[in-house]
């Protein structure tokens, strides 16, 4: 499949944000991208016309009940069949920030045994409490399974911002270590919070901005085709989005966020 033939659906509902930035990131890299409201997709469009589905950031449905859960259940009620086919055909799904929360609440991530009926993890209230918007560092942990990062060398440190109140990734306390081992065994761990030199945050704030277990910032499913992350790669695409561009002598044309979109597009051009 040629790059310009790829069609990306960025799904919007009341309360989502950064959908326009996400759409623009894909368009900047030469693929077709549309922002569609969920109702539009249910009533007038076909999800299977797209190769990629993206859940952008924000506060879908006002984060009522729990961040991401209303959209997740709405999807399972209205688009379950199409979504199952989408997943079975290994078409990529990306969840950014609130989108990550949606994927976890739906049961798509971590999805150790496929889609789970009930969530296997949670993105809980930040510790320290409050909305945290800052540039952070992330270490790429994946060894090649995740199609969204397979152009990024393992161990590379990325600089991308976060902006959320509920980003503390947790497993059930009694199974914490067992499930973490499973993440490693299946190469599902993708991003961890670290400092500029790549040393893990070990839970320390603000290097780990939310108190996430094992400094987890992003994971993928067993197949590597569904990826959720708390940081916003679409806010780290252009040079002029970098926080220090006025102080640097030479600024690269693109930021680290581009690597994520580029890896995905590269995969699609080879796979389909």
Partner 1 sequence: MKYRAKIEVSLKPGHSDPEGETVARLLKELGYMVDAVNVSKVYNVLIDAQTLREARSKAEEMAKRLLANPTKDNYTISVEEQK
- C-alpha to C-alpha distance for 148 and 262, rounded to whole angstroms: 8
Of these residues, 9, 97, 146, 194, which one is catalytic? 97
- Residue closer to partner 1, measured from CB, 211 or 233: 211
- Residue closer to partner 1, measured from CB, 125 or 186: 125
Identify the bridge partners of residue 163 per DSSP, sorted by sequence position: 133
- Residue closer to partner 1, measured from CB, 62 or 172: 172
Closest distance of CB 214 from partner 1, Å: 15
Note whether 179 and 125 are within 8 A (CB). Answer: no
Closest distance of CB 172 from partner 1, Å: 5
Q: Which residues bind partner 1 (CB under 8 A)?
A: 65-66, 69, 73, 105, 118-122, 124-129, 170-173, 211
Of these residues, 140, 164, 214, 232, which one is catalytic? 232
Task: Judge whether 97 counts as a catalytic residue.
Answer: yes
Note whether 29 and 6 are within 8 A (CB). Answer: no
Of these residues, 9, 21, 234, 267, which one is catalytic? 234
- Residue closer to partner 1, measured from CB, 51 or 132: 132
Task: Judge whether 234 counts as a catalytic residue.
Answer: yes
Measured CA distances, 18 to 25, 55, 81, 184 (Å): 10, 10, 27, 31
Ramachandran area for residue 71 (φ above 0: left; ψ -120 to 50: alpha; else beta)? alpha
Residues in the chain: 272
Catalytic residue list: 97, 232, 234
């Amino acid at each position: 499949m040629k790059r310009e033939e790829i069609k990306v659906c960025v799904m919007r509902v009341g309360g989502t944000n950064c959908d326009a930035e996400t759409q623009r990131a894909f368009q900047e890299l030469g693929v077709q991208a549309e922002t569609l409201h969920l109702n539009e997709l249910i009533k007038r469009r076909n999800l299977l016309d797209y190769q990629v589905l993206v859940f952008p950031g924000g506060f879908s449905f006002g984060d009522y009940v729990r961040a991401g859960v209303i959209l997740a259940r709405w999807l399972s009620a209205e688009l379950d069949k199409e979504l199952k086919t989408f997943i079975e055909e290994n078409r990529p799904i990306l969840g950014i920030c609130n989108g990550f929360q949606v994927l976890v609440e739906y049961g798509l991530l971590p999805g150790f045994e496929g889609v789970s009926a009930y969530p296997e993890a949670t993105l809980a209230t930040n510790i320290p409490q409050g909305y945290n918007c800052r540039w952070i560092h992330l270490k790429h942990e994946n060894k090649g399974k995740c199609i969204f990062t397979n152009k990024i060398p393992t161990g590379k440190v990325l600089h991308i911002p976060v902006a959320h109140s509920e980003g503390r990734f947790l497993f059930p306390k009694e199974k914490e270590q067992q499930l973490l081992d499973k993440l490693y065994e299946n190469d599902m761990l993708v991003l961890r919070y670290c400092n500029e030199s790549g040393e893990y945050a070990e839970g320390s704030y603000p290097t780990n901005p939310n108190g996430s277990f094992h400094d987890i910032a992003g994971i993928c499913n067993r197949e590597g085709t569904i990826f959720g992350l708390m940081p916003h790669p679409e806010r780290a695409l252009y040079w002029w989005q970098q926080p220090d561009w006025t102080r640097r002598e030479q600024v690269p044309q693109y930021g680290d966020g581009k690597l994520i979109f580029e890896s995905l597009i590269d995969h699609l051009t080879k796979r389909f």
